[in-house]
C-alpha cells in the first residue's frame, strides 16, 4: 500500500472518529443535563441553516479538495475555516517551498501546513478563552473592530497582488469580471461568495484552457 | 445528572475532549507527512520552515476567529463558541446558526439546558455536509486529478493555478460587494440603492494597502536580497493593513 492509499485509510478512520465525537457532543450534553432537545425547534432551526450551508459545504469539498491534497482535505474539513485560512496557508506554504500541489512533495507540504495551522488556531483560541475575562473588555472596544472586520481584504490584498503579477494573463479577466458582477448585480452580497467561488473557478478554468490551447497551437502542438 | 449553567465545568470538559481528539488527528497527520517528507529526500529545513511559516501565517486569522468567540459568548456562554470556532465552524456560519436556533425556540438568550442542547444540535448538524461528504469523495476527486496529471502535466499545473486564481477573484468580488448596487432594508422592505460613499470603500482601501505592503516587501527582497523577508511578507502585509484599517475607519467615519 503506497503513502496516498494509507493516507486515505487513515483519513477515513479519523473522519469517522472525529465526526463521531463532534456529533455525539450535543447528545452527551442531553444525557448529562437530562434535557432532551425541543425537536420542533431543532427541525425549524436546522432547515433555516441547512438550506444554505449544506450545499455550500458540498461545493467547498468539490472545489477545495484538488488544492488541498489528500491529507489536507481530511484534516481541513474537520478543523474548518478553509477559505479564510487553510487554503491560502497551504497554497502559500507550497509556493514558498517551491513545490507543486499535485506532486508528492506538495502533498507533504500541504498536510504539514494545514496540520500546523489547525494546531496553532486551537492554541490561540485556547489562550484567548483562558484569558477571556481580560480580553473580552479589550476586544469589545469599538475602535478595534475595523481591524478584525477587514481580515479578508488584508489577506487577499497581499495574496492577490502576488498572483496578479505572476499570472497576469490568467488572472486579469476573472478578477475584473468578479469585481464588476459583485458591484453591479445587487443579488450578489457577502453571503453569496460561497456560491460564487466555483462559478469564478469555472470561468477561470475555461479561460485558462482557451489560452492554453492557443499557446499549443502557436507552438505547433496537437 | 448535573445542574445546568452556560459555563458549567461539564460542558468545558466535553469540549476539551472533542478538541483533544482534533489535536490528536492534527498531530498524527503532521507526523506522518513529516516522515513522508524525509522519505522523499526533502530537506529537514524545508519541512521545519513550513511549520514555522504556517504558524506565523495563522496568527492574525486565528485572532480574528477568536473575535468570533468573543461575539458569541454573550449569547451562548464560553464553552460552545470555544468548541465551534476551534474546529469546523467560521463565525459567518456559527452566528446565523445560533441566531436561527434561538429564533426557532422563540427566545433571545438561553435560560435552560433544553434550549442549550437544541442550539448545540442545530449548530452541529447545520454544517454537517462537508464533514460527511469530504471523506466519501476525497479519493475519487484526488484520483481524478492524478489522471489529468498523467495525461497532461502542463494543463494540470495551469488547472491548479486557475482554481486558486478563481477563488481569489471571487474574494475580490466579495471585498467590493458593498459598493455599487446593493439591496437595503428600509422600513422592513428591500430597496435598491447605489453605494458610493467613502465608508463602503474601507475594505477596498485595506486590500490596496495590503497589496502595497506586499509589493514593497517584494521590492526590498529583490533589491537588498533580504531572503528572510520572504517568510514574513504576507504576515507583514496582513497585520500592517489590519492595523491601518483602524485610523482609516476613524478618518472616514469620524
Asked if the model's pLDDT at residue A134 lies above 80, the reply is no
- CA-nearest residue to B244 within chain A is A147
Asked if the model's pLDDT at residue A139 lies above 90, the reply is no
Closest CA to A62 of B140, B91, B152: B140
- Using alpha carbons only, what angle is made at residue B32 by residues B31 and B37, rounded to the nearest 5 degrees? 95
Subunit contact A105:B237, Cβ cutoff 8 A? no
Give me the helices (H) in A80-130, please.
87-97, 104-130
Asked if the model's pLDDT at residue A58 lies above 80, the reply is yes
Rounded-to-integer distance, Cα A176 and Cα A181, Å: 9
pLDDT, tens only, A91-124: 999 999 999 988 999 999 999 999 999 999 999 9
Minimum distance, in Å, between the CA of residue A106 and any CA atom of chain B: 10
Lowest-confidence region among A105-114, B62-71, B165-174? B62-71
Asked if the model's pLDDT at residue B166 lies above 80, the reply is yes
pLDDT, tens only, A142-154: 888 899 889 999 9
- Contact (CB, 8 A) for A158 and B211: yes
Q: Which residues pair with B182 in a beta bridge?
A: B193
pLDDT, mean of residues B6-26: 96
Cβ-Cβ contacts under 8 Å for A186 (sequence gap 6 or more): B180, B181, B182, B183, B192
Closest CA to A115 of B228, B133, B47, B131: B47
Side-chain half-sphere exposure of B194, counting CA atoms within 13 A: 2
pLDDT, tens only, A153-164: 999 999 999 999
Give me the helices (H) in chain B, please.
9-39, 44-76, 79-86, 91-105, 113-125, 128-151, 153-175, 202-224, 229-253
Q: Considering only CB atoms, which chain A residues are within 8 Å of B192?
A: 186
pLDDT, mean of residues B124-148: 94
pLDDT, mean of residues B187-215: 92
Subunit contact A77:B130, Cβ cutoff 8 A? yes
pLDDT on residue A130:
92
Minimum distance, in Å, between the CA of residue B49 and any CA atom of chain A: 8
Of all residues in chain B, the percent with pLDDT exceeding 70 is 100
In this predicted model, which residue has the larger pLDDT, B130 or B74? B130
Q: What is the ipTM of this complex?
A: 0.89
pLDDT on residue A222:
67
pLDDT, mean of residues B204-214: 96
pLDDT, mean of residues B136-161: 93
Q: What would the grid cell of residue B88 be?
A: 469546523
Asked if the model's pLDDT at residue A194 lies above 90, the reply is no
The structural domains of chain B, with segments of one domain joined by +, span 9-151, 197-253
Q: Which of B89, B120, B174 to mutate to test the interface with A (most CBs of A within 10 A)?
A: B174
- Contact (CB, 8 A) for A171 and A164: yes
Q: Which of B68, B135, B137, B181 to mutate to test the interface with A (most CBs of A within 10 A)?
A: B135
- Contact (CB, 8 A) for B115 and A39: no
CB contact residues (below 8 A), chain B span 216-235, against chain A: 218, 230-231, 233-234
Of all residues in chain A, the percent with pLDDT exceeding 70 is 100
pLDDT on residue A141:
86
Q: How confident is the model at residue B190 (pLDDT cuts 50, 70, 90)?
A: confident
For residue A155, count CB atoms less than 10 angstroms from its CB and return exposed for 0-12, middle for 13-18, buried for 19 or more: buried
pLDDT on residue A118:
97
Amino acid at each position: 500500500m503506497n503513502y496516498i492509499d494509507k493516507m486515505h485509510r487513515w483519513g477515513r478512520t479519523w473522519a469517522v472518529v472525529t465526526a463521531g465525537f463532534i456529533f455525539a457532543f450535543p447528545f452527551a450534553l442531553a444525557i448529562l443535563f437530562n434535557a432532551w432537545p425541543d425537536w420542533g425547534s431543532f427541525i425549524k432551526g436546522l432547515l433555516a441553516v441547512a438550506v444554505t450551508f449544506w450545499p455550500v459545504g458540498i461545493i467547498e469539498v468539490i472545489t477545495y479538495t484538488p488544492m488541498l491534497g489528500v491529507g489536507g482535505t481530511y484534516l481541513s474539513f474537520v478543523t474548518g475555516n478553509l477559505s479564510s485560512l487553510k487554503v491560502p496557508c497551504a497554497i502559500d506554504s507550497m509556493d514558498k517551498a517551491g513545490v507543486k500541489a499535485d506532486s508528492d512533495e506538495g502533498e507533504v507540504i500541504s498536510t504539514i501546513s494545514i496540520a500546523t495551522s489547525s494546531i496553532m488556531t486551537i492554541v490561540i483560541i485556547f489562550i484567548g478563552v483562558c484569558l477571556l475575562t481580560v480580553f473580552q473588555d479589550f476586544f469589545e472596544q469599538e475602535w478595534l473592530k475595523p481591524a478584525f472586520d477587514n481580515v479578508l481584504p488584508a489577506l487577499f490584498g497581499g495574496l492577490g497582488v502576488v498572483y496578479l503579477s505572476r499570472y497576469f494573463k490568467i488572472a486579469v479577466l476573472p478578477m475584473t469580471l468578479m469585481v464588476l458582477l459583485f458591484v453591479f448585480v445587487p443579488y450578489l452580497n457577502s453571503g453569496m461568495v460561497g456560491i460564487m467561488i466555483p462559478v469564478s473557478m469555472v470561468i477561470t478554468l475555461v479561460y485558462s484552457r482557451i489560452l492554453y490551447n492557443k499557446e499549443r497551437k502557436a507552438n505547433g502542438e496537437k | 445528572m448535573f445542574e445546568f449553567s452556560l459555563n458549567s465545568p461539564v460542558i468545558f470538559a466535553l469540549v476539551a475532549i472533542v478538541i483533544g481528539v482534533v489535536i490528536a488527528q492534527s498531530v498524527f497527520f503532521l507526523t506522518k507527512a513529516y516522515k513522508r517528507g524525509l522519505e522523499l529526500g526533502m530537506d529537514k529545513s524545508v519541512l521545519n520552515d513550513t511549520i514555522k511559516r504556517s504558524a506565523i501565517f495563522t496568527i492574525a486569522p486565528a485572532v480574528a476567529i477568536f473575535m468570533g468567540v468573543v461575539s458569541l459568548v454573550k449569547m451562548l456562554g464560553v464553552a460552545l463558541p470555544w468548541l465551534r470556532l476551534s474546529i469546523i465552524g467560521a463565525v459567518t456560519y456559527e452566528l446565523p446558526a445560533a441566531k436561527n436556533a434561538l429564533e426557532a425556540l422563540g427566545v433571545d438568550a438561553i435560560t435552560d439546558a433544553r434550549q442549550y442542547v437544541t442550539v448545540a444540535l442545530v449548530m452541529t448538524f447545520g454544517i454537517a455536509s462537508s464533514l460527511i461528504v469530504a471523506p466519501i469523495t476525497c479519493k475519487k476527486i484526488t484520483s481524478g486529478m492524478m489522471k489529468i496529471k498523467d495525461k497532461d502535466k502542463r494543463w494540470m499545473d495551469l488547472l491548479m493555478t486557475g482554481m486558486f486564481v478563481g477563488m481569489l477573484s471571487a474574494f475580490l468580488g466579495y471585498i467590493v460587494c458593498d459598493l455599487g448596487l446593493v439591496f437595503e432594508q428600509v422600513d422592513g422592505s428591500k430597496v435598491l440603492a447605489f453605494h458610493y460613499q467613502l465608508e463602503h470603500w474601507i475594505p477596498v482601501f485595506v486590500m490596496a494597502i495590503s497589496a502595497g505592503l506586499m509589493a514593497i516587501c517584494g521590492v526590498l527582497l529583490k533589491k537588498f536580497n533580504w531572503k528572510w523577508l520572504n517568510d514574513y511578507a504576507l504576515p507583514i502585509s496582513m497585520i500592517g493593513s489590519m492595523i491601518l484599517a483602524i485610523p482609516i475607519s476613524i478618518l472616514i467615519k469620524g
